[in-house]
Amino acid sequence: MKAYIGLGSNVGTRQTNCLHAIELMSRAGMLVTAQSRMYETKAWGVVNQSDFINMCVEIEIPLTPFQLLEELQAIEIQMGRHKSYKWGPREIDLDILFCGEQIIDEERLKIPHPYAHLREFVLEPLAEIAPEFVHPLIGKTIVQMLRRLQTP
């Protein structure tokens, strides 16, 4: 199954953190088939913190979405992430944005990511690797959603 993962880091060596997370994803059996460039962005949600490096990857996985979530959370912990407050600083943040065209709405996991269509720092790198991917709930492509956010 094809999935899209958003990566973000604003603690430590942010670029290295993102690259290390991709390496750990590969070691965990996730085949990285596309990778965006890195973007430096302002924090979203809680804005009084350091800027982020954000990027997206496309992966092929033999996992269920819940298994993928567990693997990504294990990588976050391995890289030093610990629970703080919502949208707070972090060494690495790995978000499942889309998992094929699946729709999951459970407390533990929501796919598509509920804020993906509202975040330019997600849509811009995602548009590099999956411009024509259609959001399964909204029915718009990544590029269409990005243009909507960028148009005043």
Catalytic residue set? 81, 90, 93, 95
The full DSSP string for 58-70 is: EEE-SS-HHHHHH
Q: Residues for the chain: how many in total?
A: 152
User: Where would I find the H helices in 1-141?
Assistant: 14-27, 65-78, 120-129
CB atoms within 10 A of CB 33: 11
Distance CA 111, CA 137 (A): 10
Checking phi first, is residue 79 left (phi over 0); if not, alpha (psi -120 to 50) or beta?
alpha
Distance CA 144, CA 152 (A): 14
